[in-house]
A and B are shown apart, each in its own frame.
Chain A
Amino acid sequence: MTLLVPVVHRVTRSDLVRYAGASEDFNPIHFDDDAARYYGLDGVIAHGMFTMGLVTRFIEPLLNQGYRVSEWSNRFRAMVPVNRTITIDGTAQEFTQKRVILNITVTLEDLPKPVLTGAITMVRGLPLEDLATTN
């Protein structure tokens, strides 16, 4: 799957301030060290949804090929402290002209276990799933 290449990103405080503003998630543990320490952290950590959102970069080559996301689930397994580098990678469990299922892993430098694992289903040229009948 040469189409998809790992995304390597160093998470900065600016990233988290921008994401807080854009998502209107102003939980102070994501930008205020004092608040983070109050909650027992060493310093500010990334929003889980920031890390998940960055995974979108990894799938952009597939978006450019006309696939769109139909389902995306993931588990947040560990915190991502600011000023650390994450690597987003994935493998295809299924890859056809109509459907791609990716298993995603996000790892943090020097941490053996992943910080995020998930699965993304993308479809192309298929009718929309009627969510009204699945729930």
Chain B
Amino acid sequence: MNIPPVGTESPPFSQVIETGAIRRFVEALGLEYQPYRDADSARAAGYRNVVAPPTFMITLHGLPIPGLDLPEAGLIHGEQTFRYGEPVVATDVITVVSRLTDVKTRGPLTFLTLETKGINQDKVVAFISTSTIIAREGQS
């Protein structure tokens, strides 16, 4: 396990939001809200295209944070917060940057807070995701 200084950021990473990726995510959760599934319903509800459900943002992770090396498995996701701006819809291009914002150690446990910000093709903030991850010393 290696942890870089607080404030270390990943390089920006841009990705196109695919309709199929939203559909698979919506189907995996069994969601029925029609704007998640259908462009016409989405437009009728005021969205520009098929809209991504709130927790879809977790799949938009960026490039690795330089120097951050955590065990592959055995990590615990402790807390998760999302704040939302402009909705993320199919065909958007979202650029994400992740940043290590806090590190705390309590006994064998290390609590890392990672913030990922997603900005769309119009330079409008779409979401800010804050995740607290708990790693246990001794795992590799």
Contacts and interface: CB of A to CB of B under 8 A. Distances in A.
Interface residues of B, number: 38
B45 A66 contact: yes
Interface string B30-44: 111101000000000
Interface string B105-120: 0000000000001000
A91 interface: no
B13 interface: no
Interface string A1-27: 000000000000001001101111101
The majority secondary structure among interface residues of chain B is mixed
Contact of B27 (A22, A38, A75, A135): A22
A56 B54 contact: yes
A135 B53 CA distance: 23
Interface of B: 21, 24-25, 27-33, 35, 45, 53-55, 58-59, 72-87, 117, 124-125, 127-128
19 contacts: A18-B27, A22-B24, A22-B27, A23-B25, A27-B72, A27-B73, A29-B73, A35-B73, A53-B28, A56-B54, A57-B29, A57-B30, A60-B31, A70-B84, A72-B82, A75-B78, A128-B86, A131-B83, A135-B117
